[in-house]
Amino acid sequence: MKLVRVGAAGAEKPALIDADGVLRDLSAHVSDFDGAALSDASLAKIAAIDTASLPKLDAGLRFGVPVTRIGKIVCVGLNYADHAAESGLDVPKEPVLFLKATTSLTGPNDPVTIPRGSVKTDWEVELGVVIGKRASYVEKADALDYVAGYTVINDVSEREYQIERGGTWDKGKGCDTFSPIGPWMVTRDEIIDPQALDLWLDVNGKRFQNGNTRTMVFGVAELVSYISEFMTLEPGDIISTGTPPGVGLGQKPPVYLKAGDTMTLGIAGLGEQTQVTRAWARNL
């Protein structure tokens, strides 16, 4: 299933995309796609609904983040060997973890705000993993059973803040609008192998990133298991699994975003996003 949340920011309602690509209202069956709605039992109930009986919605509605009340966004750094190389860093022996602020969350096609004074705002297309049930000390062999579904994430990053401002990556990762997610969450039953997905990103029509999740250093199952050793993953939490090469930092010379640029990105089977960047202003 392709599960979505549509409507004005802060007033989204749950919906799905049916087999014919029609947007259908689910609000009579589920209040929202929060942690409780992401359990296997809840998703099975939604899957059993006759989609033809659901009211149609306007295809032009805004798409929000496909899940709500997200407790944490756990990100994995340098998880593609060739991205580590373009960053001038060694391939990690264990997953590199950092967190993004939930205030960075925004819809997949909403504007991305370049922070005040920023000159090194960058892009990163990533596979997002949505957790469906509480995970603590999960074995790798069982890890995918804890996944509700998958989505597209743009891990927007400010490289000066991340690298040059006194250590820790979080400063450059958690700015407002730096986590566009969506357009939908595809339930795990439809993604046979999360390690076989093409992903790509264009800026102003030029292809910069073009990769496949098979080249991850640490795959999805290993990441869910590993992260669950250090923190309990709750339903609705999101893991952002790292980016392939082609980020602005890795260009020679580096290329960074400026107001008015357009990012278009996607992952096979998981849909596409488009964001136009804008300059920071106090009233945003």
The CATH number of the domain holding residue 168 is 3.90.850.10
Q: Is residue 190 part of a domain?
A: yes
113 and 175 in a single domain? The answer is yes
pLDDT given at position 157:
98
26 and 80 in a single domain? The answer is no
Please tell me the distance from the alpha carbon of residue 19 to that of residue 118, in angstroms, as a whole number. 43
pLDDT given at position 150:
98
170 and 116 in a single domain? The answer is yes
Q: Is residue 15 part of a domain?
A: yes
87 and 209 in a single domain? The answer is yes
| Residue 43: Cβ within 10 Å count | 22
User: Is residue 56 within 8 Å of residue 22, measured between CB atoms?
Assistant: yes
82 and 35 in a single domain? The answer is no
17 and 126 in a single domain? The answer is no
pLDDT given at position 89:
79
Positions in the chain whose pLDDT score sits under 50: none
Residue-range definition of the domain harbouring residue 8: 2-53
Q: Is residue 154 part of a domain?
A: yes
Q: Where are the beta strands (DSSP E) in 101-158?
A: 105-106, 112-114, 121-122, 125-131, 147-154, 157-158
User: Is residue 114 within 8 Å of residue 259, measured between CB atoms?
Assistant: yes
pLDDT given at position 192:
94
Q: Is residue 94 part of a domain?
A: yes
Q: Is residue 67 part of a domain?
A: no
pLDDT given at position 70:
98
| Pair of tokens at residue 112 | 């991305």
Q: Output the pTM of the full model.
A: 0.96
Q: Is residue 64 part of a domain?
A: no
230 and 141 in a single domain? The answer is yes
Please tell me the distance from the alpha carbon of residue 29 to that of residue 34, in angstroms, as a whole number. 13
213 and 97 in a single domain? The answer is yes
Q: Is residue 258 part of a domain?
A: yes
Q: Is residue 273 part of a domain?
A: yes
118 and 164 in a single domain? The answer is yes
10 and 94 in a single domain? The answer is no
pLDDT given at position 54:
98
- Distant-in-sequence, close-in-space partners of 265: CB < 8 Å, separation ≥ 6: 123, 125, 152, 154, 199, 200, 201, 202, 209, 272, 273
- Distant-in-sequence, close-in-space partners of 145: CB < 8 Å, separation ≥ 6: 133
115 and 255 in a single domain? The answer is yes
- Distant-in-sequence, close-in-space partners of 200: CB < 8 Å, separation ≥ 6: 125, 207, 209, 210, 211, 265, 266, 267
279: which strand partners?
Answer: 114
Number of domains in the chain: 2
User: Is residue 186 within 8 Å of residue 151, measured between CB atoms?
Assistant: yes
19 and 78 in a single domain? The answer is no
